[in-house]
Structure formats: structure tokens, C-alpha cells
Amino acid sequence: MQTESESMKQPPRAIILLSGGLDSATVLAMARDAGYACYALSVDYGQRHRAELDAAKGLANLLGAIEHRVAHLDLRVFGGSALTDNAIAVPESPTTGIPITYVPARNTLMLALALGYAEVVGAIDIFIGVNAVDYSGYPDCRPDFIEAFQTLARLATKVGVEGARLRIQAPIIGMSKAQIIQVGRALGVDYSMTVSCYQADTLGLACGRCDSCRLRAEGFADAGLADPTRYQHT
């Protein structure tokens, strides 16, 4: 058995949902900077932009994650989104309302997977890189959603029932894209390694035209920094 002083030396464990994009890479760097032992989780859900999974692997390594697991969950069984159904095109001009790139229940599923992983490795904190400012209008990126999931997590799990105060941490939820980039740059995130584009090619090169590319480019411009994104030559 551990003595109290030994146990106090161990950093708390956290699960970090790591898509391979700019936001989640920044969140991983922030969690590590806050002293957590970081367990990174990516989800292969049949997404069109699969290069982000390769990016996640490199970022987990660069940013000091203890381990990186990839869960497989094929959301193409449902379709209904431009990101999981090849018959639906990714929009290349701004749209109003909730866009077709919304993947039904995606963040609920991601957090549920993180919750299972948290129980198995004994983590109390789960970090997710949702953002409610420069975002695409998805319902599952809002503070109300995060809070409701935290309530659920404490009721849903063995550790929660036993008294653990599970927390869903969304540290960039209120930041602008420019602020996120500035924080991450200061913590050593190499943004040339991140893939944000919804239709990145197999090398991870960005289209420069989709919603996600547009928000990202504006973020670098607003931050007054050169955009390190690797774009397709079209």
C-alpha cells in the first residue's frame, strides 16, 4: 500500500479528448501544464478527415501524454452528417443554423467514451476542447451541455456512486480562437502538426475553404501570428 506522502507525489490523472485539431491540442498542453498525468483519447468514428487521427498520435507524443488510445466507433452506421456520409458534401460557404457537418450526438459519445476510460485508469477529470465562441453552432459545444454531462457522469459510474466528484473540464469554452492560439503557442504547441480541416487530404493538407478552415485562419490573423497551416495547392 502507498503511504500518504507517496500518494501525494503522484500527479492526478486526466483523460484528454484529442481529435488532432487545434483546440484539443491546446487543451492537452493546458492540462499537462496544470500538472495532470494525461491519458489521451482519440476516436476513429469513420470521419472523412482521417488525417486528424495521425495528427493526434504525433501531438500526444509531442505534448507528453502518458498514453494515447484510439477507440473505434463507426458512426457511418447512422450517417446524417457531411463528416460521416460521403453522399453529403462539406459546405464551402457560410451557412446559418446548425450546419450539416454536425455529427448527431458526437460529443455525447466522445464524453461517454472518455468516461469509460476514466473509470478504468482511475481519472477524475476529463478535458474536452469544446468552444462556444468561435464555433460552428453545434448544440453539444455549449456550457449547459457540459454541465449536464458532468451531472450524468457522477450518476452513471461506479466511482461517481462511490463519491468521486468527476469533473468535465472545458478550459477553452469561453476563449476566442486567437486567445486559444496564443495560450497554446506559449505552451509549446506546434500548430503545423494540427489538422482542423473537415476535408483534409490523406497528408493532412487543408482545403482552406470549409467552415473549420475559415475559423482557424481568422484565429491566426486575429492573434497577429503567421498561419502555419499546410494548405492544398489548388
Binding site for a second copy (CB under 8 A): 69-75, 77-80, 98, 102-109, 112-113, 115-120, 139-140, 142, 144-145, 148-149, 151-153, 155-158, 160-161
Nearest distance from C-beta of residue 187 to a second copy, angstroms? 28
Residue type, 158: K
Nearest distance from C-beta of residue 99 to a second copy, angstroms? 10
Fill in the DSSP letter of residue 13.
E
Nearest distance from C-beta of residue 47 to a second copy, angstroms? 14
Nearest distance from C-beta of residue 79 to a second copy, angstroms? 6
Nearest distance from C-beta of residue 119 to a second copy, angstroms? 4
- Considering beta carbons, is residue 88 or 217 the nearer one to a second copy? 88
Q: What backbone torsions phi and psi does residue 229 show, to the nearest 5 degrees?
A: -60, 135
- Considering beta carbons, is residue 106 or 209 the nearer one to a second copy? 106
* Residues contacting 140, CB < 8 A, separation 6+: 105, 106, 107, 108, 130
- Considering beta carbons, is residue 111 or 178 the nearer one to a second copy? 111
User: H or E stretch including 179?
Assistant: helix 177-186
Length of the chain: 234
Answer for the pair 58, 195: CB distance below 8 angstroms, yes or no: no
- Considering beta carbons, is residue 80 or 208 the nearer one to a second copy? 80
Rounded Cα–Cα distance for residues 222 and 177 (Å): 8
Q: Pick from 78, 68, 135, 67: which is nearest to 106 by CA?
A: 78
Rounded Cα–Cα distance for residues 73 and 172 (Å): 26
- Considering beta carbons, is residue 164 or 225 the nearer one to a second copy? 164
Q: Cα separations (Å) of 17 from 27, 94, 148, 202, 232?
A: 9, 27, 18, 22, 27
Fill in the DSSP letter of residue 145.
H
Residue whose entry in the numeric block shows the C-alpha cell 499546410 = 230
- Considering beta carbons, is residue 166 or 181 the nearer one to a second copy? 166
Nearest distance from C-beta of residue 146 to a second copy, angstroms? 9
